[in-house]
Chains A and B, each alone.
Chain A
Amino acid sequence: MQYLPNILFVAALMAGIGFFIRNVKKLARNIKLGKKVDVTDNTSIRWRNMFKIALGQTKMVVRPISGLLHIIVYLGFIIINIEVLEIIIDGILGTHRVFSPLGSAYNFLIASFEIFALLVIIAVIIFWVRRNLIRLGRFIKPEMKGWPKTDANWILYIELILMVLFLTMNGADYQLQQMDATHYTKAGAFPISQFLAPFFNGMSIPSLILVERSAWWLHILGILFFLNYLYYSKHLHILLAFPNTYFGKLGPKGKFNNLESVTREVRLMMDPSADPYTATPEAENGEEVSKFGASDVKDLTWVQLLNAYTCTECGRCTNECPANQTGKKLSPRKIMMDTRDRLEEVGNNLDINKGIFKDDGKQLLDDYITREELWACTSCNACVEACPVSIDPLSIIMDMRQYLVMEQSAAPSELNNMMGNIENNGAPWPFNQMDRLNWAKEN
């Protein structure tokens, strides 16, 4: 029976990690539904971007207040993970504070975890106040109603509870150390949790052990729960920000990719010696002839789908969007949220139907993202610039416009006029190309 806690711990750990692996597999499968795109170029620039933007948080601090608060929570998360390692080893081996032989280094570590835990608690409370009391504009936009709002608050509550449990565990441990309880070796420095002493005043050793063990168990179980909550939450960014910044767009923001399938057709049209009856490259490869642009998630690239899962709905993009600022329906954040929601729907469809997608009569266009949103974009790249984790909402908007125009001929009529003019007289307005140099003779 003495090994019961170890067995329970290993079982909980395996269940937690097992579920997490299952979620990661589902995530990878869904992302791979996207079209292939070659991102094997410029590896050194990509690594640098990841280190700078994700690890170094360079774009977070563009907004100093939220940037600083975020860095505290982020550092707290990374640093306190060292403590989680000790908890896991203790849990498996049945030891207590297995790293304590590190001596003064251990004291330093525990002390810094405690200080970070307190800072995280403060930051989380400020975050909560910004969301729920100050109600900053970007947190109360229409797309934030319902689950997105709940999700955001739950993340804050979970983080708060985990930190409180961590400090409670240490506080009780410290009391037990003072009382020379067996098993509780004198180790660690407790600059924060020592102030919890009044709460433990007059408690017997067994009750203190009960408090310490409860906090210890709830803390690690909470972490395992949080790990599995990620897949259902915008909080997934804590993992995906790294690959996303690595695979993010390189080069000038104004450069939009040229569609290769169109290039082939244009070359064929422009080349008088081309034989239109020879097999097209697609047919040779035995691939399905792809449609132009995107109407559903499978028409997007896997990087765009990764973008959608990475989005943490901070709303900096929407906040900077000129269309959104002037009251139009377009919100770049909603574009990303819709893409993820539709991708999840497609993923669930695959789960239910044993891996084969059963047509559900829905698509990303119209059922999630309306045409009005797509046509309101000025392609100004403010959203792309604003994103702290290199998401590119503009590319999805442009791909969907391509579908509307090239597959559906469904551009707004004024744009059809503009394009008709370009086709007929090489200018977006109905002027004769022969008059192009008239300005040189006018006074």
Chain B
Amino acid sequence: MESELKVPTMAELSAAGQQPEVLFWVGCAGSFDDRAKRITKAFVKILNRAKVSFAVLGTEESCSGDPAKRAGNEFLFQMQAVSNIEVLNAYEIKKVVTACPHCFNTMRNEYPDLGGKYEVMHHTQFLGQLVEEGKITLEGGKFKGKRITYHDPCYLGRANNVYEAPRDLIKKLDAELVEMKNCKKKGLCCGAGGAQMFKEPERGDKDVNIERTEQALETKPDIIAAACPFCNTMMTDGIKNKEKEAIITVQDIAELIANAEEL
């Protein structure tokens, strides 16, 4: 039932004199990483199904600057931020939704001082709103009785206090939400933040993603739900390391919903 994705770009809409309600900020992982692209597509399928008026920047999008800033390169971060803001402001963007908590945090908290003032939503918040407005209805049949544990991305949870939006969606899927011993405010990092994604970890006893995967496995889950493309990669690697990939999958909340709706 693979129907073709409708992905309008800002350039196209603008040429046609149209303005979308919301800009979908795809992010670098969502654009280039093979695993994260599946999340992007799942989210777009839901947007198409709910007939949301949206657009992407496409080739006009560039890195939000988050990894540069967390690595200490404030200069590169601000160069990225200012040029992104120029593009966004030129298109008179008011509302942004993204599936990446790092882009979400940076655009929500660090762009305003540089002249980029938008309503920025994480895709789990946006999906929650679609459910509330009745634009998508979640029939949880497929996940009934499945044990799902949710891993809090640091940049969504502690950094921005978004703990319930993703959990509410999981509960609506009729799944059994099981919490890890470290969750919400005390959630343990996957190990990717602060630009760690792009380097080898320092010497230690074990990798952070293994520690977190062990916590997830303690809950005996069928699915580990993620809400960040980098967490997704780290947890998927952890599951492979533990040789559990045959019985446990790591899925983004958007994928769970797209799956439930058989999109």
Contact = CB atoms under 8 A, between A and B. Distances in A.
B221 interface: no
A385 B185 contact: yes
A380 B73 CA distance: 18
B186 interface: yes
Contacts of B75: 262, 265-266, 292, 406
Contacts of B73: 402, 405-406, 411, 419
Contact of B202 (A323, A325, A404, A431): A323
Given A322-B191, A377-B194, A382-B188, A406 B74 contact: yes
Given A252-B160, A293-B72, A411-B73, A380 B32 contact: no
A438 B37 CA distance: 10
Interface in A405-443: 405-406, 411-412, 414-415, 417-419, 422-423, 426-429, 431, 433-440, 442-443
Interface string A40-58: 0000000000000000000
A435 B59 CA distance: 7
Interface residues of B, number: 74
Contacts of B70: 256, 379, 398, 401
A214 interface: no
Contacts of B194: 377-380
A427 B31 contact: yes
A330 interface: yes
Interface string B186-208: 10110111111111111111111
A252 B109 contact: yes
A328 B202 contact: yes
Size class of A's contact patch? 35 or more
A398 B75 CA distance: 14
B200 to A, nearest CB: 7
Contacts of A406: 72-75
Interface string B201-219: 1111111101110000000
B137 interface: no
A64 interface: no
Given A258-B114, A263-B78, A381-B154, A326 B67 contact: no
A322 B211 contact: yes
B165 interface: no
Contacts of B30: 439
Interface string A352-385: 0000000000000000000010011111111011
Given A327-B204, A328-B201, A439-B37, A381 B158 contact: yes
A252 B189 CA distance: 17
A255 interface: yes
A436 B26 contact: yes
A436 B109 contact: no
Contacts of B200: 414
B159 A402 contact: no
B167 interface: no
B69 A270 contact: no
A433 B83 CA distance: 14
A376 B194 CA distance: 9
A26 interface: no
Contact of A378 (B108, B185, B191): B191
Contact of A439 (B41, B105, B193, B203): B41
Given A251-B109, A382-B189, A266 B79 contact: yes
B72 A433 contact: no
Interface string B20-33: 00000010101111
Contacts of B80: 422, 426
A37 interface: no
Contacts of B31: 427, 431, 436-439
Contacts of B211: 322, 325-326
A274 B211 CA distance: 51
A408 B30 CA distance: 32
| Among A329, A401, A411, A435: residue with most chain B CB under 10 A | A401
Contacts of B159: 252-255, 381
B152 to A, nearest CB: 10
A437 B208 contact: no
B149 to A, nearest CB: 17
Contacts of A326: 201, 204-208, 210-211
B7 interface: yes
B140 interface: no
Interface in B50-86: 56, 58-59, 61-63, 65, 67-76, 78-80, 82-83, 86
18 contacts: A251-B109, A254-B105, A255-B109, A256-B109, A263-B78, A270-B83, A325-B208, A328-B204, A378-B191, A378-B208, A380-B189, A414-B199, A422-B80, A427-B31, A428-B28, A428-B63, A429-B28, A433-B59
Interface of A: 251-256, 258-259, 262-263, 265-267, 269-270, 292-293, 320, 322-323, 325-330, 372, 375-382, 384-385, 398, 400-406, 411-412, 414-415, 417-419, 422-423, 426-429, 431, 433-440, 442-443
Interface of B: 2, 5, 7, 9, 26, 28, 30-33, 37, 40-41, 44, 56, 58-59, 61-63, 65, 67-76, 78-80, 82-83, 86, 105, 108-110, 113-114, 154-155, 158-161, 185-186, 188-189, 191-208, 210-212
Given A252-B105, A437-B9, 17 more contacts: A258-B113, A322-B189, A326-B201, A327-B206, A328-B202, A329-B203, A380-B158, A398-B70, A402-B72, A402-B74, A406-B72, A411-B71, A418-B71, A418-B198, A427-B32, A436-B58, A440-B7
